[in-house]
Amino acid sequence: MAETILRLENIRKELGLSKAIRQTIIPNLSLEVKAGEFVAITGPSGSGKSTLLYLMGGLDKPTAGKVWLDGDEITEKDETEMNRIRNEKIGFIYQFHFLLPEFNAVENVSMPMMIRGLLPRKEIRARAMKLLDMVDMQNKYTNKPSQLSGGQQQRVAIARALANEPKILLGDEPTGNLDSRSANNVYQLFDRLNRELNQTIIVVTHDEEFANRAGRRIHLVDGKVERDSQLRAKAEAMI
């Protein structure tokens, strides 16, 4: 039985729109994700997908309820501690890559490892190159983001997200800005990371085909889990 890597318990998220008006984004949500799971989160626009993902990754705090990551309750951590946990345990991929424009691919992927400060510079560089090889960017080490296509930028962003061997890879519509061929490449990469490295992945997506290829699909409506379906094994589902 795989260990629980992420647990949300009775999560509530409200936003104060003004002093008098509060909007409830997520009324009461509980769920568990096991190590090695590949989860797709779907739902209409405004259903709270990004909010949920940010709560999972400790980028936002719930109004009530608790979040555990890797056995640690992250809802009680202060910002400094949370920054460290995010850098070490969570890889985040956004719709837009957010690579640093003045740095090349190797330098961008090196950044989270430099911040963590565990490895000597030479080893960081070697690992960055290895990660770029893994996402099929071995010929673009010294390219800056502006010298890469959208799909290539996103693959560098994925390599960067993997730099510190995160417990969870979180993606917020990471292919939303890509043409269908590049999107498909990114999907296949996620698939491979999940299968070969047993990487836990949670991805918000609008893409039906992709959602159905994940191992589990959580469908949100109005901040509530409307469906939580365990799908067939990915490899079989694709045949």
Ligand X SMILES: Nc1ncnc2c1ncn2[C@@H]1O[C@H](COP(=O)(O)OP(=O)(O)O)[C@@H](O)[C@H]1O
Q: How far is the CB of 47 from ligand X (least distance, A)?
A: 4
Cβ count within 10 A of residue 220: 22
- Each residue 51-80 as x (binds ligand X by CB under 6 A) or -, in order, gives x-----------------------------
Cβ count within 10 A of residue 60: 13
47, 154, 175, 199: residue in contact with ligand X (rule CB under 6 A): 47
Q: How far is the CB of 173 from ligand X (least distance, A)?
A: 8
166 binds ligand X (CB under 6 A): no
Minimum CB distance to ligand X smaller for 48 or for 145:
48
Contacts of 9 (CB under 8 A, 6+ apart): 30, 65, 66, 67, 68
Query: Which region among 47-55, 135-143, 163-171, 180-188 touches ligand X (by CB under 6 A)?
Result: 47-55
User: In 9-104, which residue ranges form alpha helices assigned H by DSSP?
Assistant: 49-56, 79-89
Contacts to ligand X from residues 195-234, by CB under 6 A: none
- Cα distances from 47 to residues 23, 26, 96, in angstroms, run 13, 9, 20
Query: Which region among 4-12, 38-46, 97-105, 131-139 touches ligand X (by CB under 6 A)?
Result: 38-46
**CA–CA separation, 6 and 168 (whole Å):** 9
Nearest residue to 59 via CA among 94, 109, 33: 94
16 binds ligand X (CB under 6 A): no
- In the list Mg ion, ligand X, none, the entry touching 91 (Cβ below 5 to 8 angstroms by class) is none
* Residue 70 CA from chain centroid, whole number: 15
Contacts of 85 (CB under 8 A, 6+ apart): 58, 69, 72, 74, 77
- In the list Mg ion, ligand X, none, the entry touching 25 (Cβ below 5 to 8 angstroms by class) is ligand X
**Pairing mode, strands 224-230 and 4-16:** unpaired
Q: How far is the CB of 157 from ligand X (least distance, A)?
A: 19
8, 37, 50, 218: residue in contact with ligand X (rule CB under 6 A): 50
Assigned token pair, 120: 């000597």
Nearest residue to 97 via CA among 49, 146, 51, 43: 146
43 binds ligand X (CB under 6 A): yes
205 binds Mg ion (CB under 5 A): no
49 binds ligand X (CB under 6 A): yes
2, 16, 46, 180: residue in contact with ligand X (rule CB under 6 A): 46
Contacts to Mg ion from residues 47-86, by CB under 5 A: 49-50
Instruction: Give the footprint of ligand X on this chain (CB under 6 A).
Output: 15, 25, 43, 45-51
